[in-house]
Amino acid sequence: MAYVLGFFAADGYITVNKRGGQFWCIQTTDKELLQGIKKVIGADHKISIRLPRKINENISYRLQIGSIEMCDDLRKLGFSERKTKNLVIPNIPKKYF
């Protein structure tokens, strides 16, 4: 799970839709990696395909999980909706380092 958290820190995000639904997502070009993450967390969610918008871009894949509880847990660890410019090392108990 520590690997999943680290991968989320690099390539993931939290989003809230207009109706208040909360989702955490990971997007990458490595579909097998997402399948592994999906297995580790025990999710049955679909992995969606994101087609390139430009000629030089690759196909990417996204795992999106709607869970207020999981989003709240990520926030408690220090993640936020706009983490790119304000990400700090999450507050993880020392026994997991």
For residue 76, pLDDT beyond 80: yes
Q: Does 78 map to a domain?
A: yes
Q: What angle do CA 62, 64, 67 make, to 5 degrees?
A: 165
Q: Does 92 map to a domain?
A: no
Over residues 69-86, mean pLDDT: 79
Characterize the bridge pairing of strands 22-28 and 12-16: antiparallel
Q: Does 59 map to a domain?
A: yes
Residues 9 and 11: their CA atoms lie apart, in Å, by 6
Q: pTM for this structure?
A: 0.76
Each residue of 54-75: pLDDT tens digit? Answer: 888 899 999 999 999 999 988 8
User: Residue 24's domain is classified under what CATH number?
Assistant: 3.10.28.10
More reliable by pLDDT, 88 or 39 = 39
Each residue of 2-32: pLDDT tens digit? Answer: 788 888 888 888 999 999 899 999 999 999 9
Q: Are 41 and 2 in contact (CB under 8 A)?
A: no
Q: Does 94 map to a domain?
A: no
Q: Does 32 map to a domain?
A: yes
Residue partners of 92: CB distance under 8 A and separation at least 6: 2, 5, 77
For residue 36, pLDDT beyond 90: yes
Two tokens, residue 5: 């958290």
